[in-house]
Amino acid sequence: MFQISLEHEILLHPRYFGPQLLDIVKQKLYTEVEGTCTGKYGFVIAVTAIDSIGAGLIQPGQGFVVYPVKYKAIVFRPFKGEVLDAIVTQVNKVGMFAQIGPLSCFISHHSIPADMEFCPNVNPPCYKSKQEDNVIQEEDVIRLKIVGTRVDATGIVSYFYFYIYLHTCEPYRCCLA
């Protein structure tokens, strides 16, 4: 995660003009950018500071006003080779799904170590090692190494190529939002 300076334009309807104008611009900034994703910066986790709100520019023929806003935000953009902790959310024969903060990811069964096999007849379904000393099931915390990323047409960053770096994390509590 990084804290970086960003810019965004807020389009405001004339009905919001009044004494609370700046508060409305700030609230709209939080609503429009927090939780979004761009290919360049990744996920915007939170706006930490608003540096400046520029002078509004009236849109001809509409009455709307555009306010340029400069702000600082915490962003999350995983990189190739980065090792992250994830919470397993679903396990099936083709692989497993996991959550890394705001990012949902898929780990193909081809990326799961060869000594682990899918066990569909247990409840909940899981991947077990042949010696049955390692088990990965829903709600487990695993550690992943990113081996590739891609950005789809909607601008949402999709991370589909993972390699299980360690079978499970040490028994500590992870703080994953």
Tally of domains within the chain: 2
Which among 76, 103, 121 is the end of a domain?
A: 76
Q: Is residue 175 part of a domain?
A: no
Rg from Cα positions in the chain: 22
Q: Is the pLDDT of residue 70 over 90?
A: yes
Q: Which two tokens stand for residue 103?
A: 């990012």
What's the confidence (pLDDT) of residue 152? 64
Q: Residue 25 belongs to what domain range? A: 2-76
Q: Is residue 156 part of a domain?
A: yes
Q: Lowest-pLDDT range, 48-62, 79-93, 155-169?
A: 155-169
Q: Is the pLDDT of residue 165 over 70?
A: no
Q: Is the pLDDT of residue 169 over 70?
A: no
Which among 15, 50, 76 is the end of a domain?
A: 76
pLDDT band, residue 175 (cuts 50/70/90): very low
CATH number at residue 128: 2.40.50.140
Beta carbons within 10 angstroms of residue 152's beta carbon: 9
Which among 42, 76, 110 is the end of a domain?
A: 76
Predicted TM-score (pTM) of the model is 0.74
